[in-house]
Amino acid sequence: AQTVTQSQPEMSVQEAETVTLSCTYDTSESDYYLFWYKQPPSRQMILVIRQEAYKQQNATENRFSVNFQKAAKSFSLKISDSQLGDAAMYFCAYSNNDMRFGAGTRLTVKP
Amino acid sequence: GAVVSQHPSRVICKSGTSVKIECRSLDFQATTMFWYRQFPKKSLMLMATSNEGSKATYEQGVEKDKFLINHASLTLSTLTVTSAHPEDSSFYICSARDRVVNRDTQYFGPGTRLTVL
């Protein structure tokens, strides 16, 4: 079974600084998708960024970028120029038909 | 685009009653919808996968007779919690997968907080 591991239960970053959230996963599949979702206090799950495993190029979405290392099965999220609104739970997810989530990382942004 | 609604957002019911939660994809067709349960400060736990026009597939340990899922159209799936008990109190989240665009991406509803007294 596929598993997703987020080893950082909590992270903190100063406003305007950069923070990296870690994620590793385990799979025997070669074709799959990886995601980062954000869950603010409202509990609405918001898609942050998406990566297709067959693409070598790392996905970017404005201030959000990933470091996808397929051989190492690593998928970290970098948030640049952190803003107060970035404070939330961040979930890493793996999908090959079904989606599996990591335990989440709670990000605090200090003003 | 890719908006998913969920209704109701919050429900309180008495033990032994049944509660229905609706999940709708508003601007896209979803052949597949998913139902998750989330405990406080925990991750999402997949309960079942709902395919339009066919029976839902339940994860191990999820009682299919207790959590009835119906996916009658490409834009609507319902979860009915039958004979609810206090231990069923939780946050339930649905998601939908666009059958045309970004087929592996799930878009989530805002969730339903169920409290069983």
Cα torsion angle, A81, A48, B2, B76, sign: negative
Contact call for B95 and A45, based on CB within 8 A? yes
Contact call for B46 and A98, based on CB within 8 A? yes
Give the range among B1-5, B67-71, B85-89 with minimum mean pLDDT: B1-5
Q: Using an 8 Å Cβ cutoff, are B70 and B94 in contact?
A: no
For B102, name the nearest residue in chain A, comparing CA atoms only. A50
Tens of pLDDT, residue by residue over A56-97, are 899 999 999 999 999 999 999 999 999 999 999 999 999 988
Residue B103, pLDDT score: 66
Tens of pLDDT, residue by residue over B8-61, are 999 999 999 999 999 999 988 888 999 999 998 899 999 999 988 888 999 999
The span from the CA of B77 to the CA of B110, in Å, is 14
Identify the contact set of chain A against chain B, taking CB-CB distances under 8 A.
33, 35, 37, 42-47, 50, 91, 95-104
The span from the CA of B7 to the CA of B3, in Å, is 13
Q: Are strands A105-110 and B112-116 parallel, antiparallel or unpaired?
A: unpaired
> Which residues from chain A sit within 8 angstroms of residue B42, using beta carbons?
103-104
